[in-house]
Structure 1
């Protein structure tokens, strides 16, 4: 009986953990940014929020979180991707999901290394011109 219960529990975890959906169901407050912008963000303590950037991996976009924010102010939860349209080469959106914590201010930088492949450094001049940061100044009240 214990083996069946354990097996059922493991199966349930595998089924719920393996799906086409995102890891989180609540993106919270959406804050849009773009390369070359600095966006102020004001939140209350305990609020879920997502930093949102348009992306299209098929043309070379590859957004990443440069460094985690001050963990006293905000905690990183996950990075989620949503494709718009079903066709090959369709663009989409990347969501960097966080929870606000205690009052304070922190800066969160996202970096799009355009056509960098596995590297974090642009390989040529065109890649350097197309790459860039989106900066978010997060203040928790």
Structure 2
């Protein structure tokens, strides 16, 4: 009976402190770096955590956004994280779990003046803008 009670307590603690979207993640899993104008191929097995990483400098107004969520049967979104670097700027991580076999695409777009959650009123264009595409295959 005591073991059952502790199991329930641990389950509740896990639910309260879990890693839902927007919470801090400390395990980025397999990190795949991308950049504007490039396509990166990502191959994973089911159950693997992975992160799509792009360099970002919010001080200059640079920011990255995900165009749309990928197919949730293939990759489930966990959170978006930013880690400052040693100098100017840092890295933005989009963290996922690989789910079931299949292929999906994640498109991240870079834009100036959209850091800090601002949404540009026009599609990104000009210097410091573009798309980083990640083709994700779970097998």
CA contact (8 A) 2:34 2:132 kept: yes
For residues 8-53 of structure 1, give each alpha carbon's deviation from its aligned partner in whole angstroms, at most 9, with x where no partner exists: xxxx9xxx79xxxx71111000000000000011000000000000
TM-score normalised by structure 1 residue count: 0.75
Partner of 1:58: 59
Give the deviation of 1:122 after TM superposition: 4.6
User: What TM-score does the superposition give when structure 2 sets the normalisation length?
Assistant: 0.76
Q: Find 1:128's aligned residue among 113, 125, 132.
A: 125
Moved over 6 A (4+): none
For 1:96 and 1:32, how far apart are their aligned partners in 2? 11
Q: Distance in 2 between matches of 1:100 and 1:120?
A: 30
Please say which structure displays the higher CA radius of gyration. 1
How far off is 1:131 after superposition? 1.1
**What residue ranges of structure 1 are gaps of 5+ in the alignment?**
1-11
Structure 2 CA distance, aligned partners of 1:100 and 1:121?
33
Q: Deviations over 1:99-124 (max 9, x none)?
A: 0000000000111121246333458x
- Unpaired segments of 5 or more residues in structure 2? 1-12
User: Is contact 2:113-2:120 (8 Å) kept?
Assistant: no
Matching residue of 1:46: 47
CA RMSD, 1 decimal = 2.3
Partner SS for 2:112: coil
| Distance in 1 (alpha carbons) for counterparts of 2:131 and 2:102 | 22
Contact 1:49 1:99 in 2 (8 A): yes
SS at match of 1:135: strand
